[in-house]
Amino acid sequence: MLDPKLGVKVQRGSLLHIHFKQGEFDNILICKVEHDEIINEKSFDLNRGLNTKKKVFKAFLYYLGNKKRDEEIYLNDKNNSKYWWYDFLELEQVNTDDVNTENSLDKLVKIIDKEKKKEGLAFDGTLLRNSIVGYFKSNHEFNFTEVYDIVSNYSPFNSKFPLTNIINPLCILNNANFNIINVSPKNKLIDILNSC
């Protein structure tokens, strides 16, 4: 359904607005859940309803500030739709997708480069680094699980390659969710044959 005010196609669904307290703290939760077309198994009528298997489509959690705590906002959006946070909720990003792309890729490359500088580890470090850079260059959205899988499933040629030294700091990106934009030319793939 095309929303005339937002100018975008919006998936039909229900919008749940919940005001709740946790102790002395007020919170607001807004969730959008999808409606799916379903066929009634007895009458074969086409209906719309909530899918019991799908989870929340989009969520906004607002911890209202008071004298004892600062306000905080958390967003969840399985499709990372700009209209949800920018047009509908009228929020501003703390970091842009450009900044998130550059910062996260730089952090990952630095972690890997630190390990590959150690004697005998350049080959494995270069292969893993190229895998991460390749992920950023070939994907439009950052998915932590996919990046984690690239690193944790890597089988080093050198048994002394310290994979846990890369996996542990990687977890700082666990809640990251952003569109990958403008991968910096400084993060280019390295020629394996000439770098080791």
Percentage of the chain beyond pLDDT 70 is: 85
Rounded to 5°, the CA angle 122-174-98 comes to 80
Tens digit of each residue's pLDDT (9 = 90 or more) over 105-150: 999 999 999 998 898 899 999 999 999 999 999 999 888 889 999 9
Domain boundaries, the chain: 2-88, 97-195
pLDDT, residue 12, reads 73
pLDDT, residue 144, reads 85
pTM of the model: 0.57
Tens digit of each residue's pLDDT (9 = 90 or more) over 25-84: 999 999 888 788 888 889 999 888 777 776 667 888 999 988 888 888 888 777 667 777
Average pLDDT over residues 176-196: 70
pLDDT, residue 8, reads 67
pLDDT, residue 26, reads 93
Strand partners, 60: 30, 75
Distance (Å) of CA 127 to CA 12, 33, 108, 156: 44, 41, 13, 9
Tokens of 136: 């950023």
> Is 184 a residue whose pLDDT tops 90?
no
> Is 165 a residue whose pLDDT tops 80?
yes
Give start and end residues of each alpha helix (H) in the chain: 82, 97-116, 122-138, 144-152, 164-170, 192-195
